[in-house]
Amino acid sequence: GHFSWTIKAFLGCPSLRPHPSSGLKPKHTSIAFLKTHKTASTTVQNILFRFAERHNVTVALPVQACDHQFCYPRPFSARFVHPHTVPARIVTSHMRFNGSELRRVLPADALYVTILREPAAMFESLFSYYNQYCLSFKRVPNGSLETFLDAPWRYYRPEEKDSMFAHNTLTFDLGGEKDHTPTDEAYVRGLVRDVERDFSLVMIAEHFDESLVLLRHLLSWDLEDILYVKLNMRGPGSRRSLAAGLPARIRAWNLLDAQLYDHFNASLWRRLAELGAACVGREVRLLRQARDRLVRGCFGGRLPQLRLAAQISNKELRPWQPSAGVDIVGYDLPPNATRPGAVPQEVCLKLIMPEVQYSRRLLRIQSLRYRRNYPMRPPPPLRPALARHRLPVGSFRNFLGHTLTQRPAGSQNRAGRLARFSRRQLS
């Protein structure tokens, strides 16, 4: 198992050779993963959540008022972190990047990682996923992507709620200005420079397994630490293929994102070349073999059939559905699957657990740990749930004594809506 894989991986992977004196390099456990939107980031988050649980590493999670995201789309603030989840070594929930605030939360040796996706595929996913929330999309006749792209400025309002899902979402998530003139070369150069300064690795969704190999090397992790199954996919009925010419128009509309993507896609391939094609090829193969073994051990064969949320009997496994118009599919754990590899059921459950449920699970576990470790500390004050947005603008104090101001009803973000939806869906 593990030993033979490690030996195999050394062949052709120079940077994985053991340290001459002290054996294998210790695993790096301090990581900030900027969870960008519609980029396969839930799958990466699930890898990090499972790693954190296995290695007893604390994950910073949002205060209840932010729901399971760090009050996105507001820029990240240390005040958004739940007091039971500090001091933390991992951060991975959705946020708008704010490096100086993140550095207040994480140790100085934290490594920063994010993921980008090809802009046309990403925008098609955003357009479908947020078709009812993002008003720029909602007001398009017949929900037609082509119509939107014919005259984006007719439908897009930069200052409006959820507008960040309709224009240069990657740039926005990274903390940049989504509406900046995309032909301003100095601005784009500055954006790229900032991302290169802050992030040790920028993964690319189209080359997910290769990106994971780089991640594993960066963090000195084992193969077991990067096994995954794909999460948060749309069902085939909700996807559409893009007619010829459409990808170019999407890129033109999201030109800041397109330039970021091109730059970091090229860097990814340079880094893979440095590691060596033989090493990368071997590791990707070993990763896929190990994943197949785990899937067989969990589900008795292939992955269980993808299911619509309503068809998933275990509520802990139902992915959040953004609206009636789009199907996000998930998996059910077969109740009496024969698990030939004797993989414990809980391992399998966590492998396919959606973001909202896993975030809650970790918060529960970490809160218990916190109370055990600090029984004398007063609990943080109770606060109204963000879901009740109809309340007048309100505020409460969090553990640092800062005041968090609730957003007014008209500006509720996806987190608030999600709280409402997931409660309905999960109750």
Ligand X SMILES: Nc1ncnc2c1ncn2[C@@H]1O[C@H](COP(=O)(O)OS(=O)(=O)O)[C@@H](OP(=O)(O)O)[C@H]1O
Helix (H) or strand (E) holding 115: strand 111-116
208 scored as a contact of ligand X (CB under 6 A): yes
Cα–Cα distances (Å) from 293 to 70, 286, 296, 340, in that order, read 35, 11, 5, 10
234 forms part of the interface with ligand X (CB under 6 A): yes
Considering only 29, 42, 69, 413, the residue that binds ligand X (CB under 6 A) is 42
Nearer to ligand X, 29 or 125 (CB): 125
Overall residue count recorded for the chain in this entry? 427
- Is 232 a binder of ligand X (CB under 6 A)? yes
CA distances from 303 to 135, 162, 197, 296, 300 (A): 36, 35, 39, 8, 8
Cα–Cα distance measured from residue 166 to residue 139, given in angstroms and rounded to the nearest whole number: 12
Whole-angstrom distance, CA of residue 80 vs CA of residue 58: 16
Contact call for residue 280 and ligand X (CB under 6 A): no
Q: How far apart are CA 380 and CA 362, in angstroms?
A: 18
Under rule CB under 6 A, residue 321 binds ligand X:
no
Q: Which is nearer to ligand X, 116 or 404 (CB)?
A: 116
Residue range at the interface with ligand X (CB under 6 A); choices 46-54, 181-189, 228-236, 290-298: 228-236
Q: In the bound complex, what is the minimum distance in angstroms from residue 149's beta carbon to ligand X?
A: 18
Cβ-based nearer residue to ligand X, 103 or 239: 239
Least distance (Å) between residue 62 CB and ligand X: 14
The verdict on 422 binding ligand X (CB under 6 A) reads: no
User: Binding segment for ligand X among 4-12, 23-31, 37-45, 290-298 (CB under 6 A)?
Assistant: 37-45
49 binds ligand X (CB under 6 A): no
What is the token pair recorded at 416? 């608030």
Beta pairing partners, 32: 91, 112
Verify binding: residue 169, ligand X, rule CB under 6 A.
Answer: no
| CB 312 within 8 Å of CB 318 | yes
Residue nearest to ligand X according to CB distances in the complex: 42
Q: Please give the residues from 114 up to 143 whose contact with ligand X meets the rule CB under 6 A.
A: 125
Best CA proximity match to 179, nearest among 69, 239, 257, 67: 257
Beta bridge partners of 202: 114
Q: Are strands 307-308 and 90-91 parallel, antiparallel or unpaired?
A: unpaired
Which range binds ligand X by CB under 6 A, 40-48, 55-63, 163-171, 289-297? 40-48
Number of chain positions touching ligand X (CB under 6 A): 15
Q: Cα(238)–Cα(261) distance, rounded to whole angstroms?
A: 25
Enumerate binding residues for ligand X (CB under 6 A): 37-43, 125, 205, 208, 230-234
